[in-house]
Structure 1
Amino acid sequence: MSNKTFTEKDVAILAKNKNVKAVSMKGITYTDEFKRIFIIENEKGKFPREIFEENGFDIDIVGIKRAKSSGSRWRAAYRNEGICGLNDARNANTGRPRVRELSADERCERLKAQINLLKAENELLKKIDILERRLISKK
């Protein structure tokens, strides 16, 4: 995160941009679509500054360092995980387990899924056992 903080005026200007999902005094959350556009344009040879300016950002407000570091982070995520690496997963999974009680139907479905998983696991172990026996008998 950059050391630069935004003024209330900067936050208001950035919030109006369609490529901004959220903005605070300390940071900007960009839309997934903007990240995809950035990767496509960057692969065509455009610099981060050009891409940000073409998409309605005032580079003096955002800061060239922030634009470059965001671009570096997105390129690394794209290289490692593909297009899915650009998606903001913070809203999807908080990492906290569910606290609410499951209904009888939900418990039943969960147990059925667990049984199916265990059956598949047993089948896999049986196949491995058969293959190992074949290898031993060939020796």
Structure 2
Amino acid sequence: MSTRLFSGKEIKELYKNPYVTAVSNKGITYTDEFKRIFITENEKGKFPRQVFEEHGFDIDIIGINRVESSGKRWRAAYRKNGIAGLQDTRKVKSGRPNEKELSIEEKYERLKAQNNLLKAEVELLKKIDMAERRLGKKKK
């Protein structure tokens, strides 16, 4: 983590970005969507700084070291676990394993939630694919 602390004004500015879920004086929590966008754009050859700037982040506020370390961390997580590696699991994992046996209803609800998440990911990938196809046609 960077040693640079954000001022109150910088925190307010960062919260304006739709790709930020939380900001403290020490760090930024980015949306899972932005992480996926970052990986997609980076694989197309864009530099981390470019991706951040194109999505409304002020590099002077964030700092280039934070941009590069976030990119490095997300690429490693993506290589290791795919799209699932980019998800923020702090909301769902407390660090303690779930010891109780789940009821049929609880298992069903978990499967429904997992199914909805997969459907949303498929829709996002379809949108990305369509956008790439449109860009490909325009270049020709």
Q: TM-score, normalised by structure 1?
A: 0.70
Residues in 2 aligned to 1:14 and 1:55: alpha-carbon distance in whole angstroms = 12
Match of 1:90 in 2: 90
- Shift in Å at residue 56 of structure 1? 0.3
- Backbone CA RMSD of aligned residues: 2.2
Match of 1:123 in 2: none
Tell me the amino acid that sits aligned with residue 41 of structure 1.
E
Matches within 5 A, 1:1-139: 1-96=1-96, 109=103
Residues in 2 aligned to 1:84 and 1:49: alpha-carbon distance in whole angstroms = 23
Residues in 2 aligned to 1:45 and 1:59: alpha-carbon distance in whole angstroms = 19
Q: Which has the larger radius of gyration?
A: 1
Tell me the amino acid that sits aligned with residue 16 of structure 1.
K
Which ranges of 4 or more aligned residues in structure 1 deviate by more than 6 Å?
Answer: none
Residues in 2 aligned to 1:71 and 1:97: alpha-carbon distance in whole angstroms = 29
* Partner SS state of residue 65, structure 2: helix
* Partner SS state of residue 94, structure 1: coil
Q: TM-score, normalised by structure 2?
A: 0.69
**Closer, same or farther in 2 for the Cα pair 1:79/1:62, shift >3 Å?**
same
Give the total of aligned pairs. Answer: 105
**Closer, same or farther in 2 for the Cα pair 1:83/1:58, shift >3 Å?**
same
Match of 2:122 in 1: none
Gaps of 5+ in 2: 108-140
Over the matched positions of the two proteins, sequence identity in percent amounts to: 63
